[in-house]
């Protein structure tokens, strides 16, 4: 527990998806928590915004993620009940492409390895079940009933509200200037003052290259764009459909959602991993007409009805590791520091369980969750 000299048990830097979850889980365990955030709550400057993020269990990236997802789903349900917010919704998930492509083959592998409910569909079955979709003749699809989406802003607000209810102190509009280990704990200096605590958790998002430079973890930041396109005939036909990920013969993935933003809200879609290198200071927040045209040309190959104008666009940032796996660990050279970063564009579905893991690590407990895949030592070069 905190001493009089330290003031807090744990300081959390960054109150986006991961940081807000960590602050809540720590406070719920009776820890004295200070959370520091450069911007406002649930802001749109990083990666935890845009109204929706896909959640899924048949994880093509690596079956090793599935146990975390199963626990994550339990925590999504708990978060919804405790906060009274719609933080997630199950719609089913449809993942399409050539049979050997990672999106399909990897999803099938994970589903079989973990006995997850799923169906394999040929093109005729996809078109019969989901008439908005027109897969390529060589495509197949895996459908999982447990696919759906999380609402990032609602999730962050839910964790913030529960953290405050549990006694956490959260400060917004207070950028961190520096932090360091001391003989008795950690010291975190902001634009206002210096705080002290026993432990520190750093959840820097796209600011990881700046805040974690001394650790030598190679993280690159990319600008990504989200698009809301107006469908022909209105949004009604798109309200009751699954989330989807589609990979074409060239390996390019797109993803999208049902119409969840009302009759005038369009239907959200985006490219996956088609980004431009940037930093939080240099990101181009303007979405250009050629980008909208390119998105429309690609998505209408799969969903011909999405051929209307863009009613809304937004940019966000991916913070990518070289292998696109996360970094979640106590750092071996900083016994009082826990880091969570490099979520590489697929981390938000893990927010509740990463919060639980970070709480475990910060208070010195062995986490029961399998996180060896996220050890930063795999990335640090001599």
Give the pLDDT confidence score for residue 301 in this predicted structure.
97
- Whether 12 and 148 have beta carbons less than 8 Å apart is answered as no
Report the share of the chain in percent with pLDDT over 70: 98
Three-class SS state of 210: helix
What class has domain 8-48+153-218+323-379? alpha beta
- pLDDT of the residue at 6: 54
Q: Could you tell me which of 321, 337, 336 has the C-alpha nearest to residue 374?
A: 321
pTM above threshold 0.85: yes
From the list 57, 45, 43, the residue with the least C-alpha distance to 243 is 57
Q: Token pair 């690596």 is at which residue?
A: 62
CA torsion 342-28-368-102 (nearest 10°) is -40
| pLDDT tens, per residue, the chain with 382 residues | 444 345 899 999 999 999 999 999 999 999 999 999 999 999 999 999 999 999 999 999 999 999 999 999 999 999 999 999 999 999 999 999 999 999 999 999 999 999 999 999 999 999 999 999 999 999 999 999 999 999 999 999 999 999 999 999 999 999 999 999 998 899 999 999 999 999 999 999 999 998 888 888 899 999 999 999 999 999 999 999 999 999 999 999 999 999 999 999 999 999 998 889 999 999 999 999 999 999 999 999 999 999 999 999 999 999 999 999 999 999 777 889 999 999 999 999 999 999 999 999 999 878 999 999 999 999 876 4
Element at 112 (helix H, strand E): helix 107-113
User: What CA dihedral angle connects 202, 5, 364 and 358, to 10 degrees?
Assistant: -30
Residue 98: HSE in the Cβ half-sphere, 13 Å Cα cutoff: 8
Q: Which CATH number fits domain 53-150+220-320: 3.40.80.10, 3.50.50.60, 3.30.9.10, 3.30.930.10?
A: 3.30.9.10
**CA 83 – CA 338 distance, rounded (Å):** 27
Region(s) of the chain under CATH 3.50.50.60: 8-48+153-218+323-379
- Asked if 350 and 73 count as a contact pair (C-beta separation under 8 A), the reply is no
User: What secondary structure letter does DSSP report for 367?
Assistant: P
pLDDT, tens digit, 9 for 90 and up, residues 252-285: 999 999 999 999 999 999 999 888 999 999 999 9
Tell me where in the chain the CATH 3.30.9.10 domain(s) lie.
53-150+220-320
Task: Please report the pLDDT score of residue 159 as a whole number.
Answer: 98
Asked if 322 and 379 count as a contact pair (C-beta separation under 8 A), the reply is yes
């Amino acid at each position: 527990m905190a001493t009089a000299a330290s003031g807090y048990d744990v300081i959390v830097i960054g109150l986006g998806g991961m940081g807000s979850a960590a602050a809540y889980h720590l406070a719920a365990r009776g820890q004295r928590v200070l959370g520091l955030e450069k911007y406002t709550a649930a802001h749109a400057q990083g990666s935890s915004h845009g109204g929706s993020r896909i959640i899924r269990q048949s994880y093509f990236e690596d079956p090793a993620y599935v146990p975390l997802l199963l626990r994550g789903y339990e925590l999504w349900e708990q978060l919804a009940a405790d906060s009274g917010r719609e933080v997630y919704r199950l719609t089913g998930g449809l993942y399409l492409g050539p049979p050997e492509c990672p999106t399909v083959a990897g999803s099938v592998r994970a589903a079989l390895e973990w006995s997850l409910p799923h169906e394999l569909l040929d093109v005729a079955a996809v078109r019969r079940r989901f008439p908005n979709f027109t897969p390529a003749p060589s495509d197949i699809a895996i459908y999982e009933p447990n696919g759906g989406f999380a609402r990032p802003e609602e999730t962050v607000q839910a964790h913030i509200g529960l953290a405050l209810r549990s006694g956490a102190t959260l400060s917004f509009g207070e950028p961190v200037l520096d932090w360091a280990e001391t003989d008795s704990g950690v010291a975190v200096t902001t634009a206002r003052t210096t705080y002290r605590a026993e432990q520190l958790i750093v959840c820097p998002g796209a600011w990881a290259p700046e805040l974690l430079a001394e650790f030598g973890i190679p993280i690159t930041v990319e600008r990504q764009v989200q698009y809301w396109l107006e469908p022909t005939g209105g949004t009604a036909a798109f309200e009751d459909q699954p989330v989807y990920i589609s990979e074409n013969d060239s390996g390019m993935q797109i993803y999208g959602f049902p119409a969840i933003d009302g009759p005038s809200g369009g239907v959200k879609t985006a490219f996956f991993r088609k980004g431009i290198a940037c930093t939080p200071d240099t990101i181009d927040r303007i979405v250009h007409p050629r980008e909208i045209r390119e998105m429309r040309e690609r998505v209408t190959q799969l969903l011909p009805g999405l051929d209307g104008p863009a009613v809304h666009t937004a940019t966000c940032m991916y913070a990518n590791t070289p292998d696109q796996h996360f970094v979640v660990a106590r750092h071996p050279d900083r016994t009082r520091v826990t880091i969570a970063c490099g979520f590489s564009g697929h981390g938000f579905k893990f927010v509740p369980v990463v919060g639980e893991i970070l709480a475990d690590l910060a208070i010195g407990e062995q986490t029961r969750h399998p996180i060896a895949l996220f050890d930063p030592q795999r990335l640090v070069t001599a």
